[in-house]
Amino acid sequence: MRSQERLSILCLYAQSQTYTQTVFEHVEALGKYSLHDWAYLDYGLLNQPGLDLNAFDAVVIHYSVRLPYGQIDDRGADKLEGYSGLKVLFIQDEYDHTNRAKSLIRKIGCHLVFSVVPPRHLESIYPAAEFPNVVFVSNFTGYVPADLVALVGATKPPSARNLVVGYRGRPLPLRYGQLGREKVEIGRLVKEYCDAQSIPNDIAWSEEARIYGTRWYGFLASCRAMLGSESGSNVFDWDGSLDARIGDYRRANPLASDAEVYQQVVLPQERPGLMNQISPRLFEAIASKTVLVLFEGEYSDVVKPGEHYIAVRKDGSNLDEVFSLLRDDHYIDRMVQHTHSEIIGSGKYSYRSFVGLVDARINELFAQKGAAVPAHRRPGYPRMVMTNMAMSRSPLRPRKSSSTIKWILQVVFFPVRPLWRSMPEFLKRLIRPVIKKIFY
């Protein structure tokens, strides 16, 4: 592929999920920072009879579309299977209905999959023998948005903040295993210690205590330190039966504690260390120059204990040492400045850098002059179409003067007017120029 070539990419996403800021930031960044031309379409419109996917060089399925939960039905899967261009998938929560997701990756014929499984474990979840022609790339669940520093605003150094520790966790269902349980456990351990020592804290993990919107950034900036633990789940529900098995055990043993149910049903499914990941929430705390106090862990090798965060042992046995460090004003002010510079200031974990990686991997497949795509070609598909897709920009690109594209515009988008009217204005601003560029 020539370096100056701009590909036409259709992104299938779930518009209903963009109310979550991290989802919106992720899907917006793909079109905002890519060197290619992106158009967006809600996955619910995939089966519209006028939509010709071959008008695009590539189709991307965003993780907001929950592939293993049937959000793309059989008709949609068949349509994607028959599409002759490059097929890219972003997938998260891969521990849910894992086998169903793997089956759909094979059926659709994805060429490139962005997975949140860490690099060293990709082979154990997606063996090359099962996916000989699929490129898997590890990535994080979220990155640093360009406006994060502006959202946080000016902050006091942590040494000047009166609230010593803050935290908002969330109790997760038992099926998410030890990593899910740690979301509450770190709050419980530290709150008990703080209350016993009369240390100012605001630590909670109930749904009623959740903080949303701009108030969250104010909360971050009011705390000397913020608690945290690794995200993800090491419990893989391969066949989607785990919830039913937990329910069966509880009915058979009505007096069983959560600890017993975990030990008997969930623990055998745990694969410790497999999916431990850094949470985008940590980027927010770093941007607010708040000290990270985290359970010991790897955190995707982004932050390191003693350098970027203060580590808490999972039994709480070093809390005296942790709070001694938090009382050292010079130590914590220096730590947050260093962490901010390396993680936020460097741009290494920005959405711009992430989309650069996405572009590079897409470009690599096109640069193979069709080698990756014909390997998936099903009988009856003309080789010339697929070769042109991989080697040239023009054959599958919508022509602005094409009456066919005008017809697609009328058939596909006219019925969507009620959805368009109800769409948030920021999303309209994102989609409108892309639609105009492609169809007019």
Instruction: Give the CA radius of gyration of the chain.
Output: 24
Tokens of residue 43, six digits: 């996955």
Which pLDDT value is given to residue 114?
98
Which pLDDT value is given to residue 438?
46
| Cα separation, 237 vs 217, whole angstroms | 35
**What is the signed CA dihedral for 202, 208, 213, 218, rounded to 10 degrees?**
-10
Q: Mind listing the pLDDT tens digit of every residue in the chain (440 residues)?
A: 444 578 999 999 999 999 888 899 999 999 999 999 999 999 999 999 889 999 999 999 999 999 888 899 999 999 999 999 999 999 999 999 999 999 999 999 999 999 999 999 999 999 999 999 999 999 999 999 988 888 888 899 999 999 999 999 989 999 999 999 999 999 999 999 999 999 999 999 998 999 988 899 999 999 999 999 999 999 999 999 999 999 999 999 999 999 999 999 999 999 999 999 999 999 999 999 999 999 999 999 999 999 999 999 999 999 999 999 999 999 999 999 999 999 999 999 999 999 999 999 999 988 775 544 433 333 332 222 222 222 222 222 233 333 334 334 444 444 454 565 566 666 766 676 665 554 44
SS3 318: coil
Identify the structural domains of the chain with CATH numbers, from first to last: 8-143+350-439 (no CATH), 148-236+271-345 (3.40.50.2000)
Rounded (5°) CA angle 373-11-115: 70
Which pLDDT value is given to residue 384?
25
3-state secondary structure 133-175: CCEEEECCCCCECCCHHHHHCCCCCHHHCCEEEEEECCCCCHH
Strand (E) or helix (H) holding 282: helix 280-287
Which pLDDT value is given to residue 425?
64
Phi, psi angles (nearest 5°) of residue 69? -100, 20
